[in-house]
Structure 1
Amino acid sequence: MEGFIADHKSSLLFSLILFILIVSLKIIFTSIVRKVGKLGDFNPVRTNLIIKYINIVLTIISIITLTFIWGVNYRDLGVLLSSVFAVIGVALFAQWSILSNITAGVIIFFSFPFKIGNTIRILDKDILDSDNPERDVFVIEDIKAFHLHLRSSKGEIITYPNNMVLQKGVVIISTYKDDEIDADKENI
């Protein structure tokens, strides 16, 4: 055991530094996302989903860095990784819409102006009803990783893909806080 430690002293030291750095980054990013979620009044489930994505990315980065630190034989690793990436590439190409919906979910979390409880109209000819404009209004029930849950004026729940929300125009009719203010005015 002493011989192993003596032979790999620098690799062990760099691995320890990497471990401390990754744990520190996870703590920092988690606190930043939680603050953004709290300031933006986001659903805690969405906040935890973004934290999970960040942890996955940091774990992948740490695994790649560890292979460099420990000097893994890249010829053997190259064959293995090329085979794995070929299979993953085919699977991801077949499922590109899933990835685009996840990415759109992250973008919606950080930069989009609507939240759960907002009343919106999506300017999409597939869901617009020209005979009944009231039917075009939806309340956002939930924002998931892949889609939005929208409640129509008739009470129907519609799932709408996140990537389509970024591609189509969205009109915010009222926000959740606007509804609370209107309710307070009615109670006065």
Structure 2
Amino acid sequence: MTIAMKTELTAADIVDNATFDAQRKEKQAELRTHKTHRRVDVGPFASFFFESWFTMWWQIQEMLRVEGGGEEQLADELEAYASLVPNGRNLTATMMLQIADPVRRARELSKLGGIEHAVVLVIGGEEVRGEAEDDLDRTTADGKASSVHFFLFPLSDKQIAALKDGSAEVQLRITHDNYNHIAILSDEQKKALAADLA
């Protein structure tokens, strides 16, 4: 099983900080290669980062390294991130609305309330609506969107087969009234995502 195909992240997978520090540089280089084709930009400032066992393992290891919270922190980090590991029948992604200028960012986010319900993956013409993680309200009461969102895309057998075959067109869409954009995934991107599927 490759790193990308592991479907569950547990405490047993996490190494102590000293071990992680010893292998960090090598793992960081592996991670850069692993993530090369896992980013999909949709429109001018929405970027999706498709997650995997490896990206979530790295996230937890880095949090433990920086904060040094030990066993108690590990339990919290696993609760926060383990659900973002694809289970072989779904894809998961973090969407970031990346606007450097704070004034423009506040203005744009104020127009994007509900964007977490407007994300669709289309595989060979079949739509898979992104299921937004509901641990927190990602839109405030006054209609302002968060700049970070997490999604799960549950796939059918047919959609999995089409993605693994590689011949089907795959689109990622945002259909919000104030942000309506489509990205067509490259062959390299489709191959990277297919590696997460059973």
Query: TM-score, normalised on structure 2?
Result: 0.29
Q: Greater Rg, structure 1 or structure 2?
A: 1
Q: Which of the two has greater strand per residue?
A: 2
Higher relative contact order (CA 8 A, sep 6+): 2
